[in-house]
Structures are given as structure tokens and as C-alpha cells.
Amino acid sequence: MTRSLIDTSNLASLINECISDLRTGAGTRLYDLGRTIDSIAETNSQDYLHVLPQCIGAFSQELLASKSLTLIPMLPPQIRDKHSKTVNAAVEKAVKALEEMKHQLCDNDTVDFQKLMECAGTLMRHAGNLHSERRFLTPHGGAMSNEE
């Protein structure tokens, strides 16, 4: 007798939790999603899924680091506002990517690999944007440097 430990409704629920956490929290639920998708890829021999946890993890890491920068009290308001806009834009793009990912993995009978890889690409692109912005703000990297 075989029994599923996780089904599409469980995965859809986890993705919804991630979307909610992205909008109201730090986005740390993305780590759970990445580990879950990696486990699904391993247990179901769906090798194409292995790319998703890497992209989800990279985005989550950059988002967490970027959101923490907005909490620094001495950050000048104009820089904080610009950085917050970048973070918010990345979150909204990630939400759209996660919604499409949910549609592909949970709603469709057949996965459209092109759309799934576009979701992964969106997460990586915005992880890169957040990283660049964060590097610009950190000492020896830009706006917060005294060596101008």
C-alpha cells in the first residue's frame, strides 16, 4: 500500500502561505517551499524540479538580507525609500512567479516546463536585483561608503 505524504493541495497551501509571508513577513517560508519541492523531485524522480529550490533559496536569501537593511535606523530616508521600492517590486514579481508555479504544479495535469523555468528565471533575476541594490548600500559598495 502506498500513501502520499504530500499532494497538490498540500503544495498549493504551502505556496499560498509563502505568498502571504512574502507580503507580510520576511519571506522565510520560501525555505520550506524549496525543501519541499526538492523532496518531491527526489521521491518522484522529477529532475526538472531540482532547479526550483535553488532559485527559491537564492531569492529568499537576498530578500531576507534586503529587508533587514530597511530596518537600519541610520539609513537616510531617501535611500530607505528607494531600497524599499526595489524590495516591494521584487516581492510582487515573486508573488506572480509563485502563483504561476502553483498553477503549473498543482492545477495543470501537464506541466508547461517553459512557464516553470520562466518562474525560476524571475526569482533569480530579482534575487540579482536585490543583491545589486544591497551591495550598493553596504560599506565599501556604494551609498553608505564614506569614500566618495
Could you tell me the three cell numbers for 40? 518531491
Rg of the chain on CA atoms, in Å: 17
**Per-residue pLDDT tens digits for 137-146:** 776 555 554 4
What is the tally of structural domains in the chain?
A: 1
Residue 148: inside a domain: no
Residue 144: inside a domain: no
Residue 96: inside a domain: yes
**Per-residue pLDDT tens digits for 29-53:** 999 999 999 999 998 888 889 999 9
Does the structure show a pLDDT above 60 at 60?
Answer: yes
Residue 123: inside a domain: yes
Q: DSSP characters for 9-67?
A: HHHHHHHHHHHHHHHHS-STHHHHHHHHHHHHHHHHT-GGGGHHHHHHHHHHHHHHHHH
Residue 2: inside a domain: no
Report the pLDDT value the prediction gives residue 39, as an integer from 0 to 100. 92
Q: What does the mean pLDDT of the chain come to?
A: 89
The answer for residues whose C-beta is within 8 angstroms of residue 139's C-beta and 6 or more apart is 145
Report the pLDDT value the prediction gives residue 113, as an integer from 0 to 100. 93
Report the pLDDT value the prediction gives residue 72, as an integer from 0 to 100. 85
Residue 112: inside a domain: yes
Report the pLDDT value the prediction gives residue 45, as an integer from 0 to 100. 85
What domain range is 38 assigned to? 8-137
Report the pLDDT value the prediction gives residue 6, as an integer from 0 to 100. 82
Residue 147: inside a domain: no
Residue 147: pLDDT band (50, 70, 90) is: very low
- pTM score, whole prediction: 0.88
